[in-house]
A = this chain, B = another copy of it.
Amino acid sequence: MPTLYHHTMSTASRFIRLVLSEYGFQTDLVEEQTWEKRKEFLAFNPAGTLPVYVDDNMRALCGPTIISEFIDETHGVLKRDRRLFAEDPFQRAEIRRLTEWFLQKMEQDVTKPLVRERVHKLIIPNGLGGGAPDSKVLRTARSNIRHHMKYLTWLSGSRQWIAGERLSYADLSAAAAVSVLDYLGEIDWNEFPVAKEWYQRIKSRPSFRPLLTERVRGITPVSHYADLDF
C-alpha cells in the first residue's frame, strides 16, 4: 500500500488526504515531526517538507502540487464528473491559482505562523525552536485571517463551489486551511455566514471525517470543531 507522510496540523497534508479520500485511495499514514529530521524521511524528501507520497515501488512524490498533479494525471482524468480538476486549460489555471492561494499565500500570511506559534512551539524542545508563542507574530497572523475569510466569502457566495460548478482541488485546499484554523478556534464564524455555509457542505463529506476525529497532543479543538451543524 502507498504511504503518506503527513502532519495533522499541516494544511498541505490535509489537502492531499482529502484528495486521496475523495478518489477512494487507501494509504498508510505516517505522522512526521519534520523538526526531528529523521534520516528515513529525509531520504524521501531532502527538503524535509510535507506531505510526501511513497508508492508501492518506493518512488516518492513530494509536496501538494506535485502529488495532486500526479493523482490527476493517473486517476483524476478517468473520473469524469467526479474529477477534482477541470478539462479546460483556463479553468485548470483558475483551480491552480486558488489552490496556490490557499496552500501558499494564506499559508504564509496566516496558517503557518499560527500553527508554528500555537502548536509546534509547545512540542519542539527549547533549543530547537520551541518555547513561548510570539505575541507579535500571533497578532499579525490573526489580522490577516479576516482578509482571507472575506475572499473565501466572495468566492463561495458567487459560485456553487469556489472554482465553479464542481467540487475541485480549490475547495479541498481552502477547506484544509480553514479546518486547521477552526481546530485552533481562530475563525469567528458569526462574521462569515456565507463561507460557513460552504464549509458546512464540505465538512459533511465522508472524506472529511478522519480529519475531524484527530487530535493534537496538548491542544483540545474548539468545541464545535467536529460538529457538522455548528
Contacts and interface: CB of A to CB of B under 8 A. Distances in A.
A89 B74 contact: yes
Contacts of A66: 93, 96-97, 100
Interface stretch (A4-12, A55-63, A126-134): A55-63
A101 B90 CA distance: 25
Given A73-B89, A89-B70, A90-B59, A96 B65 contact: yes
- Oligomeric state, in number of copies? 2
B97 A73 contact: no
Q: Chain A's interface: helix, strand, loop or mixed, by majority?
A: helix
Contacts of A89: 70, 73-74
A56 to B, nearest CB: 13
Interface in A19-65: 47, 59, 61-63, 65
19 contacts: A47-B105, A61-B93, A62-B97, A63-B100, A65-B65, A65-B96, A65-B100, A66-B93, A66-B96, A66-B97, A66-B100, A69-B69, A69-B92, A69-B93, A70-B89, A70-B92, A70-B93, A73-B92, A74-B89
